[in-house]
Amino acid sequence: MSSGLIGKKIGMTSVFDDAGNNIACTVIEAGPNLVTQVKTESGPDGYDAVQLAFDSKPEKNTTKAMQGHFASAGTEPKRKVTEFDRTDEALKRGDELHPDDVFEEGEVINVVGISKGKGFQGVVKRHGFAGVGMRTHGQSDQQRHSGSVGASADPSRVFKGTRMGGRTGNDRTMIKNLEIVQILPDHNAVLVKGSVPGAKNSYVELHKK
């Protein structure tokens, strides 16, 4: 079997547990995932892995090389291709994996996604700075500034890694220890307790602990 699945973030909902508590959940469509390649340590790749593909894609938007790759697996082109660790020797090319094949309700997993991009942001939003101060002594435009960033004569430069304004978000992010509240086999959906990175309809990776 695979150590994880590719999914698509659909949105959020809430469910009630047996005690009547309302639990906020992220809905992830996580199947079917198709096995497009199986790599083995004894083969030319030199390591054990399984390559999964998810979500159909028009053939006209797929390169010739990838068209041949998907055709050899007996499937139409897919939008997302990702490798996971292989945990089952019997897994072969062309197999389909569904959420209930890999995960169980109550299991704790890690979810990886690309966080929402927020463009260029200043230090107050990006790093949580308090700003230089209030509008006192004629200081009318410094409330959200970073303040001093370096010394003068020595070392006469700004150190690498100094927290400044810059591009925020749009980074590969892992949220650990999220509980699978419910699996909906009819919809290939997984309900994960809490929020996961990314916007709606963005792709995520669900990894077993």
Mean pLDDT by 10 residues, the chain (209 residues): 89 92 94 90 88 92 93 91 85 89 92 96 93 73 83 87 94 95 93 93 94
Q: Cβ(102)–Cβ(28) under 8 Å?
A: no
Q: Cβ(195)–Cβ(12) under 8 Å?
A: yes
Count other C-beta atoms under 10 Å from residue 33's C-beta. Answer: 29
- Rounded CA separation 191/105 (Å): 9
Phi, psi for 9 (deg, rounded to 5): -75, 120
158: Cβ contacts below 8 Å, ≥ 6 apart:
149, 150
Long-range contacts of 159-167 (CB under 8 A, 24+ apart): 163/123, 163/126, 163/127, 163/129, 164/123, 165/120, 165/121, 165/122, 165/123, 165/126, 166/120, 166/121, 166/126, 167/117, 167/119, 167/120, 167/121
156: Cβ contacts below 8 Å, ≥ 6 apart:
none
For residue 166, what is the enclosing H or E element?
strand 166-168
Q: Give the per-residue pLDDT at 121.
A: 96
- SS3 state at 15: strand
pTM of the model: 0.83
pLDDT tens string 133-165: 777 777 777 788 888 888 888 888 999 999 999
